[in-house]
Structure 1
Amino acid sequence: MDAGGPAGHRARLNAQMDRRGAWPEDSPWLREAFAALPRDRFAPDRLWRWDGRAYVPVDRADEPDGWAAELYSGLDAAAVTQLTGDRPSSSLSAPSVVTDMLDSLRLEPGHRVWDVGTGQGWTAALAAWRTGPGLVGTTEVDEHLAAFARSRLAEARLDVEVAVGDGTGGGVPDGGQVDRLHATYAVETVPWHWVEAVRPGGRIVYPWGRLGYAALTVTDDGAAAHGWVHGLAQFMGDRTGPAQPSSGPGAYARVREGAEPETRLILPRDPAGLEDWHLRFALRVAVPDIVLFSEQSGEGPVVLVHDSDCSWAEIRPDADGRTVLSQGGPRRLGDELLAAWSQWEGLGSPALYDYGITVTPDAQWAWQGDPDNGPRWPIGRLRQTTR
């Protein structure tokens, strides 16, 4: 077997999947579908690699093995396929995330599927492999991506309808209801027409805002959808909605604009605790509009927090080994973060999988432990509906 090229990189990725136990036991079809429809069949000839300062092109014609290495760089690594300006606007999602989300969808032969956000067409292809010909419709807002996906799906001899349109605001490509809805871009609030598009008992799997993805089941009367968070991932946001907040030190610096702290206090906590992704997710639930970024300094971990507007907080060790919380702006983001941290501990430090989401026509909220009686947090614009 060729050690390089797509085949060699595919083999190494499959071996990694085996070692981690990443092939879902409840969806053995995914291993076969990945083999029949590998991601290199749906990748454009130019990918984009981050070199530490900017995205640089990796062209298949010039760097065939570098291109394949970028495409198969790891189980948890997406491959950037398009830039808009200097920021990624489309990608082939990480293999581990694709398998987990499609497993969460519980696809069966004969299911009718709406794939929202076609991209290069890979997830629509995998769904069609499972369900059968003529049962998958997919919607893509970018007509160039839609044309590319249409050509690759045709080359794979898959009967998938590709429609150009706004999946967030529009409907199923050929009308009617579907058994499953799979979204490939992040939304903070679920459009109600997504719920209406899915039959009672059907499932919706979608990336939730800046972090995580959830699997919802439509109730028997179609009046709501609810379900559990299934994993962590960061997806590109809805192109037709508000821009997702930027993370990293650059975004923090733009919000702070060199301002001096308005308050300082010694933090009686180890900031290393914020490296726990279950806590990170709980903070995302309780204080959804803050962005948290951590980096290392010579003295220890530094945590930078901002609200994408004009409030900020910084947690860093000082020369005496103490941890100092500094903050400024109209909001006291550090205080909000600490309150949410304490709340999470008071709940018993639940894992991210202990959280779920409910969607109704008038309100959406996250909950922990129990959808009816557990603590809940409002989502998006419908905050006033929380109890």
Structure 2
Amino acid sequence: MAALPRDAFAPDRLWRWDGYSYVPVDRASDPAGWADELYADPDAAAVTQVTDGLPSSSLSGPSVVADMLDSLRLEPGHTVWDIGTGQGWSCALAAWRAGPGLVVSTEIDEGLAVLARKRLAAAEVFVGNAMRSVPPGGPFDRIHATYAVETVPYEWIEAAKPGGRIVYPWGRLGHVALTVAADGRTASGWVQGLGQFMADRSGPVPVSGGYAQVRGTGDPESERIVERDLAPLADNWDLRFAVRVAVPDAILITGRDEDGVNAWIHDGNASWAALSARGDGSAVLHQGGPRRIGDELLTAWSQWETLDRPTPYDYGITVTPEQQWVWLREPALKFAP
């Protein structure tokens, strides 16, 4: 990172959330603001592209980049497939470690690929959808993805050498390191850390209006009192990760007011729930849609407590040609499909 600083891979325009929308921050007209956006927080991503009002590409936070590359266990001489080139920073770091000519990268956005090629002398960038096609140069010792996927394409397992390592962001929260088995047919490994990532562009398009669009204007279909203080939903990332495992399509938003923490949950489709704090350690649960997604979240919360409050590092994933699943504490204990 000292040899390849993040600013050398940042575009001249970044985007900052002002509370209402993403606004441009230009290096030429506001160099201090641009630098603050890039370096203010080692855990924060810098938004580098906005499409239809929403972030569509970013430079991941330095701490997350370092954590993922450390999880990759990359050594000099390894061949690497970098997935999701973006601005090219992670790819350049991998090439610095592995050696020139040993890293190939795939980027679905042709415009980003053109820009990345100008910065990457030690790696080759291909335009394509890595969820469907594999670039030349394999099989690879290491595969490193920089956008979030819910389900690992089995082609990634086939593209890795036996004993190879695949590090990727799993869904909206956390990243996983898989080791390919000696027979090359399966892969398994542990969750390595937390982090939020851009989604796979070839996957389902998220509801742009979020909770408000899913909620609509109709009356709730059910209402009841929940005897829980909602603060852990905002503050306890072990709990949030457990909810992410148990209800993978649930999008959870929290906020505080004078009564305490409130929560809004939706599935990006038609089901929603709102938990409104009452100021006495309880909350009112309103729900609507075909599912009772608020009840699903509360069930996952109770299950997490019953399981002795596991941390993200207690979970792992196994991938076979037929299926993949999440496990808790040991691969034989399948936790979720």
- Please indicate the TM-score interval, normalised by the length of the shorter structure: over 0.9
From 98, 120, 134, give the equivalent of 1:131: 98
Moved more, 254-263 or 351-360: 254-263
For residue 244 of structure 1, report the CA deviation from its aligned partner. Answer: 4.1
Question: Aligned partners of 1:134 and 1:197: how far apart in 2?
Answer: 18
Question: Aligned partners of 1:104 and 1:245: how far apart in 2?
Answer: 32
Residue identity in the other structure for 1:195: I
**Cα RMSD between the aligned structures?**
1.4
TM-score of the pair, normalised by structure 1: 0.84
TM-score of the pair, normalised by structure 2: 0.96
Is 1:204 matched with 2:166? yes
Taking a change above 3 Å as real, the CA distance of residues 103 and 321 of structure 1, as seen in their structure-2 partners, is closer
Equivalences for residues 125-164 of structure 1 within 5 A = 125-154=92-121, 159-164=122-127
Question: Aligned partners of 2:28 and 2:103: how far apart in 1?
Answer: 32
Equivalences for residues 288-327 of structure 1 within 5 A = 288-318=248-278, 322-327=282-287
Question: Aligned partners of 2:331 and 2:79: how far apart in 1?
Answer: 28
Residue 297 of structure 2 is matched in structure 1 by 337
Equivalences for residues 3-82 of structure 1 within 5 A = 34-82=1-49
The 8 Å contact of residues 228 and 282 in structure 2, kept in 1 or not, is answered as no
Question: Aligned partners of 2:327 and 2:277: how far apart in 1?
Answer: 34
For residue 319 of structure 1, report the CA deviation from its aligned partner. Answer: 6.8
Is 1:358 matched with 2:325? no
Residue 6 of structure 1 is matched in structure 2 by none
Moved more, 134-143 or 56-65: 56-65
Is 1:238 matched with 2:205? no
Is 1:214 matched with 2:176? yes
Residue identity in the other structure for 2:154: W
For residue 321 of structure 1, report the CA deviation from its aligned partner. Answer: 6.2
Residue 257 of structure 1 is matched in structure 2 by 216
The 8 Å contact of residues 306 and 312 in structure 1, kept in 2 or not, is answered as yes
Taking a change above 3 Å as real, the CA distance of residues 57 and 316 of structure 1, as seen in their structure-2 partners, is same
Give the % identical residues.
64
Consecutive unaligned residues of structure 1, counting only runs of 5 or more, are 1-33, 379-387
Moved more, 320-329 or 360-369: 320-329
For residue 322 of structure 1, report the CA deviation from its aligned partner. Answer: 3.7
Is 1:369 matched with 2:332? no
Question: Aligned partners of 1:120 and 1:312: how far apart in 2?
Answer: 36
For residue 211 of structure 1, report the CA deviation from its aligned partner. Answer: 1.2
From 163, 168, 176, give the equivalent of 2:138: 176
Question: Aligned partners of 1:69 and 1:52: how far apart in 2?
Answer: 17
The structure whose RCO (Cα within 8 Å, separation 6+) is larger is 2
Question: Aligned partners of 1:165 and 1:260: how far apart in 2?
Answer: 45
DSSP-derived class of the 1:83 partner = strand
Higher helix share: 1
Deviations 1:12-41 (A, max 9, x none): xxxxxxxxxxxxxxxxxxxxxx01000111
The 8 Å contact of residues 237 and 243 in structure 1, kept in 2 or not, is answered as no
For residue 327 of structure 1, report the CA deviation from its aligned partner. Answer: 1.3
Moved more, 115-124 or 269-278: 269-278
Moved more, 260-269 or 291-300: 260-269
Question: Aligned partners of 2:164 and 2:276: how far apart in 1?
Answer: 47
Taking a change above 3 Å as real, the CA distance of residues 317 and 178 of structure 1, as seen in their structure-2 partners, is same
Question: Aligned partners of 2:258 and 2:229: how far apart in 1?
Answer: 16
From 168, 186, 189, give the equivalent of 1:227: 189
For residue 364 of structure 1, report the CA deviation from its aligned partner. Answer: 0.8
Number of residue equivalences: 336
Deviations 1:242-277 (A, max 9, x none): 12466xxx5212111122222222212211122211
Residue identity in the other structure for 1:306: H
Question: Aligned partners of 2:171 and 2:207: how far apart in 1?
Answer: 10
The 8 Å contact of residues 251 and 267 in structure 2, kept in 1 or not, is answered as yes
Residue identity in the other structure for 2:131: T
The 8 Å contact of residues 212 and 234 in structure 1, kept in 2 or not, is answered as yes
Higher strand share: 2
Question: Aligned partners of 1:319 and 1:186: how far apart in 2?
Answer: 37
Moved more, 65-74 or 227-236: 65-74
Moved more, 99-108 or 339-348: 339-348
Residue identity in the other structure for 2:72: L
Is 1:272 matched with 2:235? no
The 8 Å contact of residues 237 and 244 in structure 1, kept in 2 or not, is answered as no
Residue identity in the other structure for 1:354: D
Question: Aligned partners of 1:103 and 1:235: how far apart in 2?
Answer: 17
Equivalences for residues 179-190 of structure 1 within 5 A = 179-190=141-152
For residue 180 of structure 1, report the CA deviation from its aligned partner. Answer: 0.2
Deviations 1:67-104 (A, max 9, x none): 11211121111111111121111111000100000000
From 129, 142, 151, give the equivalent of 1:166: 129
